[in-house]
A and B are shown apart, each in its own frame.
Chain A
């Protein structure tokens, strides 16, 4: 399988559940990203990992816990979520490092549609 894959594609969970979202990239990239896409709102960057190290955390509530065990895999662990956390969660990856010709392109997965009841 090529590109960026995300599992599951759909998830329904209660506010007391614990679940995890998985992202896998087969592109040899070293940077991985989690975004939240809510209706009528801009995509929100949540976390960035560069060479397995977290380099961005945009004031994300602690009920979202990312994990990057290697450059190909990224997880988002969820616990005690709120209904307002219902959204499409997108994972992306890109190469990294100095580039003179402009920024690296991010490649996106299809997303996990999360519904919190």
Chain B
């Protein structure tokens, strides 16, 4: 079985400051790792994912996340946030099973509030 823990339920930060959203997971099997973002009144959108290879993955809007196998973590970072980054961020894992669909296990979410 898998579980995901997001250590902060809310993270307030000022515009142009750096931010880190923390995510730890536990799993008895190898997993893929994801970050999803949910803007107000919208569904979840995939932000970035780690499948294999380089442990540092980047999104098109400046976020990055680093997979740390020894610490079972996949923290999300951005060096300078904008007001438009205000949203809820969800970390998720998916077991590396073969075939079929993608079964996601989510954390409880972290609400990022960017203030001017």
Contact = CB atoms under 8 A, between A and B. Distances in A.
Using C-beta atoms within 8 Å of the partner chain, give the interface range for chain B.
20 to 34
B98 A98 contact: yes
Interface residues of A, number: 28
Contact of B49 (A97, A98, A102, A109): A102
A109 B43 contact: yes
Interface stretch (A12-20, A40-48, A65-73, A79-87): A40-48
Contacts of A50: 100-101
Interface of A: 4, 31, 33, 40-43, 45, 48, 50, 55-56, 90, 92, 94, 96-98, 101-106, 108-111
Interface of B: 4, 9, 32, 36, 41-46, 49, 51-52, 90, 94, 98-109
